[in-house]
Chains A and B, each alone.
Chain A
Amino acid sequence: MDSILETTLGSLTLKRPTVLASGILGISLDVFNRLHDAGAGAVVTKSLSKEPWEGYPNPTIFSVKGGGWINAVGLSNPGAENFAKMIEPNNDVPIVVSLVGSIEDDFEYMIKKFENCKVAAYELNLSCPHVAKVGLEVGDDIELVSKIIKKVKSITNSPIVAKVGLGKSDYLATVDAAVSAGVDAITAINTVRAMAIDVETQMPILSNKIGGLSGTPIKPIALRCVYEIASKFDIPIMGCGGISTWEDAVEFILAGSSAVQFGSVMGDNWVETFGEINSGIQKYMERKGYATIGEMIGKAKRQ
Chain B
Amino acid sequence: MEKQRDNNHPHICVIEKIVDETPTVRTLYFKDSVLANVLPGQFAMIWVPGINELPMSVMVSDVTDQAALTVRKRGESSTALYNLSVGQQIGVRGPYGNSFKIKNGKILLIGGGTGLVPLMRLIKFANPSNHITVLMGSQTKNEVFFEETAKKLLEKNSHDIVPVTEDGSYGEKGYVTDVLEKLLEKNTYDGIYTCGPEMMMYKTVQMANKKGIFVQASLERMMKCGIGICGSCCVNDDLACRDGTVFDGAHLSQKSEFGHSHRTKSGILEEI
Contacts of B17 in A (CB 8 A): none
Does A54 contact B263, Cβ atoms closer than 8 Å?
no
Option from B6, B228, B268 in Cβ contact (under 8 Å) with A266: B228
With A59-B10, A60-B225, A76-B266 as given contacts, are A27 and B93 in contact (CB-CB < 8 Å)? Answer: no
Whether the pair B234, A28 counts as a contact (CB closer than 8 A) is yes
Cβ-closest chain B residue relative to A264: B229
Set of chain B residues within 8 Å of A291, measured between Cβ atoms: none
Residue interface bits B2-15, CB-to-A below 8 A is 1, else 0: 00001011101000
Residues of chain A whose beta carbon lies under 8 Å from any beta carbon of chain B = 23-28, 30-31, 33-34, 46, 52-55, 57-65, 69, 71, 73, 76-79, 82, 86, 196, 198, 200-201, 203, 205, 207, 263-264, 266-267, 270
Asked if B9 and A63 sit within 8 Å, CB to CB, the answer is yes
Q: With A and B bound together, what is the CA distance between A58 and B10 in angstroms?
A: 12
Q: Does B239 contact A (CB under 8 A)?
A: yes
List the B side residues contacting A267 at CB < 8 Å. 8, 225, 227-229
Q: Residues of B contacting A62 with CB < 8 Å?
A: 8-10, 45, 93, 225
Establish whether residues B265 and A55, one from each chain, have CB atoms under 8 Å apart when the complex forms. Answer: yes
Give 6 new A-B contacts, CB below 8 A, not counting A54-B265, A59-B47.
A28-B234, A46-B231, A59-B53, A62-B225, A65-B9, A198-B12
Proximity bits, B233-272, A CB within 8 Å = 1, else 0: 0101101001000000000000000000001111111000
Check: B209 CB closer than 8 A to any chain A CB. no
- Is B89 at the interface (CB under 8 A from chain A)? yes
Nearest neighbor of A271 in chain B, beta-carbon distance: B228
User: Which residues of A have CB within 8 Å of B8?
Assistant: 62-63, 69, 267
Partner of B234 from the list A30, A59, A200 (CB cut-off 8 Å) is A30
Can you list 26 A-B contacts (CB < 8 A)?
A24-B229, A24-B230, A25-B228, A27-B231, A27-B232, A27-B267, A30-B237, A31-B234, A34-B237, A57-B53, A58-B52, A58-B54, A59-B10, A59-B53, A60-B230, A62-B8, A63-B6, A65-B6, A73-B224, A76-B265, A76-B267, A78-B266, A198-B12, A201-B50, A263-B229, A270-B228
Interface residues on B, range: 35 or more
B241 CB to closest chain A CB, in angstroms? 11
Question: Chain B's nearest CB lies how many Å from the CB of A180?
Answer: 35
Count, A-B residue pairs, CB within 8 A: 128
Cβ contact within 8 Å between B91 and A205: yes
B residues near A79, Cβ cutoff 8 Å: 266, 268
Residues of A within 8 A of B231 (CB): 24-28, 31, 46
Contact call A28/B266, Cβ cutoff below 8 A? no
Cα–Cα distance between A86 and B89 once the two chains are bound (Å):
42
Given A63-B9, A198-B10, is A31 in contact with B237 using a C-beta cutoff of 8 Å? Answer: yes
- A24 to chain B: closest residue by CB: B229
Partner of B266, one of A26, A57, A77: A77
Closest to B53 in A: A58
Residue of A nearest to B263 (CB): A27
Identify whether the interface residues of A are mostly helix, strand, loop, or mixed. Answer: loop
For A25, the chain B residues whose CB sits under 8 A away are 228-231, 234, 239
Q: Are A61 and B9 in touch, CB under 8 angstroms?
A: no
Contact A203 B229 (CB under 8 A): no
Q: Please state if A77 and B230 are interface contacts (CB–CB under 8 Å).
A: no
**Chain B residues whose CB sits within 8 angstroms of the CB of A203 once the complex forms:** 49-50
Chain B residues near A63: list those with CB within 8 A: 6, 8-9
Separation of A243 and B28 alpha carbons in the complex (Å): 40
Interface residues of B in 73-92 (CB under 8 A from A): 77, 89, 91
Distance of A200 Cα from B10 Cα, bound (Å): 11
Interface residues of B in 39-57 (CB under 8 A from A): 45, 47, 49-54
